[in-house]
Structure 1
């Protein structure tokens, strides 16, 4: 029963916590919703550097029935293994989310049509293949359907891919002109000069020391007397609406923070700067009644958006008046929070809590009068302590305790430790440690979160709920143990069932809990650490199944030995007769040793990862 439950939980865990099917060994192309790989890990992300792959077309105007030839090309030294290509309308007044026209491949690659709409389909590879560049395609439309552009995603390997790469616009000669405030016509602003970082201006960059086109986030500040010049930029992943925001906080937690937003609105085609405020408990961002308060001048470039970047430059007053929620820029030091996410009609949507979604917080407070060059991010020691304690409790202590009680009750029958069998001593003490560590970890995370944490989406939303269920189960079981009836009592089977049920529920839930917890950005766990835990879980299940099969195979012989022992005891009640040793005890000792060694190594590695990541 327990092995079956763990197998089911492991399967659910793989889908729930990791967001993709671990049985698939390659990253395939692609989802219709956002053109991202359909089975890439949550911890992977599209490449930020300019794409070496391009969409080349032979004409800029189309007519119904006429062929538009396009080539998917790769620069020298690059090649892709899978792709998806689709045509979209570009006029925001029309539906820009449905496929337009039909593609025909001129070649022998394995492809299929996808993303069916009333007006067309996309084309994608069936699997990863050896693809010779260029890939030649023909696109046709049965009607005039508006100005269109081609979008393509290119996959190089399991974690390296580019998404939503654009072609030039193919115009519909009968469609009205695209409004002049569309992104392609907005003035480009100068790039952010990173050579001045730490000299004439302060900078906070992610990753460390990056040049602006390659930065995931970049924020700079420069004192100009009565105003401070801020520059901010972020990689947008080619999404329609995106934002980057700077929060000025007295601590490393969101809540009660003044915020400056740089937001792209695809409906208006403009990139603007607004002021807002983060309220605490529950955390909520609210734009101010006067969203331009304190802003003297601003620049936002949509051409940068077209290049998969959003960039703003804003001159802000040091001491704005009229709203207490707008912070004074000098006289105080602040933790800088850099957040990026999806916007809707120019309004920020809530960011996620994953490793690449949670805001980056400066490792220390920043004085905007100093041209410092900031790197790194704040850590959350209570989160790390919680992760270490919970992993030690459930992977090390709980797993060994449960294996001992299930498969090793008959081992060492003539040895005692303070008149108790070895399996019971191990089970009791290890589960006591599991309870103690879980209790401490439970308190630490409540202190860190300031109470119960609410998350907007699954699987993060399930983490606190499952944690409370586990805590209740592990709290009830020691109470039941204190009330345990004698072995000869009629109530003993009832106790055994309840004790088993609560323990099994907590153990099975611990598996997805670990994987969900590792996805939280505050834990800062590298993606490869997930596979270490997956390997441990598989090894644990294999060892349990092996012991289960071994127990079934030796059951008959052990039963015969036990009957013989009971008969001898009845015949010679005054004679000391040692209990029989179980069949296959050497094999079982080896399996226990193997499990303890694997579990110990994995536990040590993961605790080090949690502590230093």
Structure 2
């Protein structure tokens, strides 16, 4: 029974390890078969996310309009020295909706080795006996220019091409779009919104700027905001990277602090239903946490959620575009926002922090962002004054969140793992030695677990202060982090209480205590490691993805150590039992003599494994604390 109790955490740790490996960021060997899913054009089996920086690859369409059965030239080209190894290409009705079926036939030119993607073929019309298709590459050779011809089997309305470009398993762009190919039979031709790029040459001179990363030019900025001030209005230019999919937004907020709540929000959002990029105003509230829209114009349609007829216009002018994964809005807004809308902050007030966010927008209304490193809103490191034409840069750090992470690593990876090893495998060790009248294993176990308890309590207090109380993430697995944390906290509080009322060894209730003490300790320990893995994905901690693999290495090492000690304990069980029987017999035969208890069989191996575990765990713990602290 004891062996089963000791082995169960190992099995659970193996499950945790498998889950960690599945969610890791490791590279996968690339093959052409990985490209691509018909529904959303994502490659199969790649753990990395698509690149959101502007793609160096383009879809060039050789005509402005089409008529059925007339060929249109389509080229996939590279605008840089970078080449792609695999691709997906198909035409879709405009505007494209995820899950739409391809339209028209893409035909190969002579001497080209590409293939039709079989599961993307659709029948257009039974009367004309023609199919629509998508094309993928057959090989993984590097390509910089690939030529096709496309023809429509019938009229589809306006059409756009979508392509996925794969360089390798870490670098790829998904669902890049072409310009619109118009249906020649329609009188209305869609006109793409395009505005001039944001000029950064005058930053710090005649315009104020905030850029992330520092000193970037607009195509390479994760976020960029510029402003020019006059006596009545401020002209803003807001830009940011999106993932190239429809209905995306980039927003900035004016805040008194680094946290969302009681903020004035300006959103640049693309609405695919209207194929229009617009500016929207809103404000955040603290309790309840919500984003509330504000009408930007005095007159709006009756069915528009932004409509209100009682206020003056807030926006003086606006224009926007969404092209090649970049959202861009240029708008002029009144400075005295609070005159008609007391919920908003005036733009002529004291300096404020800027908060930037991006994500999915539903008809222009921004949806809640995630909390991962890529999704957490960026807060400016310093307060920004819109009355100054200065250069601002740098993101805020969250030292309490980092301290929470460092303390949890120290508590569970170092102290808890050592304390549990001592109580599981080292009770027979050093049988004749004591420290402060306690066996070595008990002294080490008690102090490790007591230290772990204190550190965990401090870490939980810090994160509650940072979050302003209990905070719930929007989706799994991050949503599970605070829940698991509370369960772990309950377990580590109950266990010391049980220890205080521990019955004596000959008490009939002692086995019951042993089971409960083991159960609560095992639950806390098994849940702690996956909770740490989940916590490393939170944006406030800013842990680089590769740090996850350092912790995975430690988990593998710890499992190997436990398995080795478990096997060693099984192999030496009979010998140690026989050795102890002889020692007890000798004590009975010669009761007046002192007979020290013999060291267990394999004590040198167990001592070596303990010191190896302590040393390696110390190095890993130190590395993780440094990474979390400085990242």
Q: Deviations over 1:505-551 (max 9, x none)?
A: 11111121111111111111111211111111111112222222222
Deviates more, 1:60-69 or 1:147-156: 60-69
Show the counterpart of 2:348: 330
Write the distance in 1 (CA, Å) between the matches of 2:182 and 2:614: 67
Deviates more, 1:581-590 or 1:242-251: 581-590
Deviates more, 1:196-205 or 1:129-138: 129-138
How many residues are paired up? 599
The answer as to whether partners of 2:37 and 2:44 remain within 8 angstroms in 1 is: yes
* Aligned mate of 1:362, from 351, 357, 380: 380
The answer as to whether partners of 1:47 and 1:160 remain within 8 angstroms in 2 is: no
* Aligned mate of 1:434, from 452, 457, 468: 452
Alignment of 1:288-327 (within 5 A): 288-290=294-296, 295-302=314-321, 305-320=322-337, 321-327=339-345
Show the counterpart of 1:209: 215
Show the counterpart of 1:581: 599
Q: Deviations over 1:540-577 (max 9, x none)?
A: 11222222222222222222222222222222222221
Residue 136 of structure 1 and its aligned partner are, at CA, apart by 5.7
1:272 matched to 2:293:
no
The change in CA–CA distance for 1:91 and 1:355 in structure 2 (over 3 A counts) is closer
The change in CA–CA distance for 1:348 and 1:145 in structure 2 (over 3 A counts) is same
Q: Deviations over 1:233-272 (max 9, x none)?
A: 1112211111121211111110011111222211122222
Write the distance in 1 (CA, Å) between the matches of 2:549 and 2:53: 25
* Aligned mate of 2:41, from 25, 35, 43: 35
Write the distance in 2 (CA, Å) between the matches of 1:507 and 1:116: 51
Structure 1 residue matching 2:327: 3-state secondary structure: strand
1:234 matched to 2:252:
no
Residue 297 of structure 1 and its aligned partner are, at CA, apart by 2.5
Deviates more, 1:82-91 or 1:231-240: 82-91
Write the distance in 2 (CA, Å) between the matches of 1:590 and 1:90: 68
1:98 matched to 2:115:
no
Residue 343 of structure 1 and its aligned partner are, at CA, apart by 0.7
Alignment of 1:8-47 (within 5 A): 8-15=15-22, 18=24, 22=26, 24=28, 28-41=34-47, 44-47=49-52
The change in CA–CA distance for 1:483 and 1:136 in structure 2 (over 3 A counts) is farther
Deviates more, 1:428-437 or 1:580-589: 580-589
Alignment of 1:602-613 (within 5 A): 602-613=620-631
Show the counterpart of 1:4: 11
The change in CA–CA distance for 1:34 and 1:511 in structure 2 (over 3 A counts) is farther
Structure 2 residue matching 1:189: 3-state secondary structure: coil
Q: Deviations over 1:188-213 (max 9, x none)?
A: 22221111111111111111110011
Structure 1 residue matching 2:210: 3-state secondary structure: strand
The change in CA–CA distance for 1:25 and 1:538 in structure 2 (over 3 A counts) is farther
Write the distance in 2 (CA, Å) between the matches of 1:290 and 1:138: 46
Write the distance in 2 (CA, Å) between the matches of 1:39 and 1:475: 42
Residue 388 of structure 1 and its aligned partner are, at CA, apart by 1.0
Show the counterpart of 2:56: 52
The change in CA–CA distance for 1:13 and 1:258 in structure 2 (over 3 A counts) is same
Q: Deviations over 1:147-193 (max 9, x none)?
A: 3322122222343222222234445555x45x55x4xx144222211
The answer as to whether partners of 1:112 and 1:125 remain within 8 angstroms in 2 is: no
Q: Root-mean-square deviation (CA), in Å?
A: 2.8
Q: Deviations over 1:26-57 (max 9, x none)?
A: 59544555434455556x551413x2323345
The change in CA–CA distance for 1:590 and 1:96 in structure 2 (over 3 A counts) is closer
Residue 290 of structure 1 and its aligned partner are, at CA, apart by 4.9
The change in CA–CA distance for 1:404 and 1:227 in structure 2 (over 3 A counts) is same
Q: Deviations over 1:324-373 (max 9, x none)?
A: 01211113111111111111112111111111111111112111111221
1:129 matched to 2:147:
no
Q: Deviations over 1:60-91 (max 9, x none)?
A: 66677777665544456322233333332114
The change in CA–CA distance for 1:173 and 1:368 in structure 2 (over 3 A counts) is closer
Show the counterpart of 1:155: 166
Structure 2 residue matching 1:229: 3-state secondary structure: strand
Write the distance in 1 (CA, Å) between the matches of 2:267 and 2:182: 34
Show the counterpart of 1:87: 91
The answer as to whether partners of 1:186 and 1:301 remain within 8 angstroms in 2 is: no
Any unmatched runs of 5+ in structure 1? none
Structure 2 residue matching 1:385: 3-state secondary structure: helix
Q: Return the TM-score normalized by structure 1.
A: 0.90
Any unmatched runs of 5+ in structure 2? 1-7, 125-131, 299-311
The change in CA–CA distance for 1:76 and 1:327 in structure 2 (over 3 A counts) is closer
Alignment of 1:57-206 (within 5 A): 70-75=74-79, 77-91=81-95, 97-101=100-104, 113-114=118-119, 122-124=134-136, 129-135=140-146, 143-172=154-183, 176=186, 179=188, 182=190, 185-206=191-212
Q: Return the TM-score normalized by structure 2.
A: 0.87
Write the distance in 1 (CA, Å) between the matches of 2:116 and 2:574: 57
Structure 2 residue matching 1:523: 3-state secondary structure: coil
Deviates more, 1:563-572 or 1:143-152: 143-152
Q: Deviations over 1:96-151 (max 9, x none)?
A: 7334456677755798545676765655569x934445456676766544433221
Structure 2 residue matching 1:390: 3-state secondary structure: helix
Show the counterpart of 1:572: 590
Deviates more, 1:581-590 or 1:325-334: 581-590
The change in CA–CA distance for 1:256 and 1:209 in structure 2 (over 3 A counts) is same
Residue 291 of structure 1 and its aligned partner are, at CA, apart by 5.7
1:284 matched to 2:290:
yes
Write the distance in 2 (CA, Å) between the matches of 1:98 and 1:426: 65
Residue 279 of structure 1 and its aligned partner are, at CA, apart by 0.9
The change in CA–CA distance for 1:34 and 1:378 in structure 2 (over 3 A counts) is farther
The answer as to whether partners of 1:114 and 1:123 remain within 8 angstroms in 2 is: no
Deviates more, 1:111-120 or 1:419-428: 111-120
The answer as to whether partners of 2:41 and 2:88 remain within 8 angstroms in 1 is: yes
The answer as to whether partners of 2:113 and 2:137 remain within 8 angstroms in 1 is: no
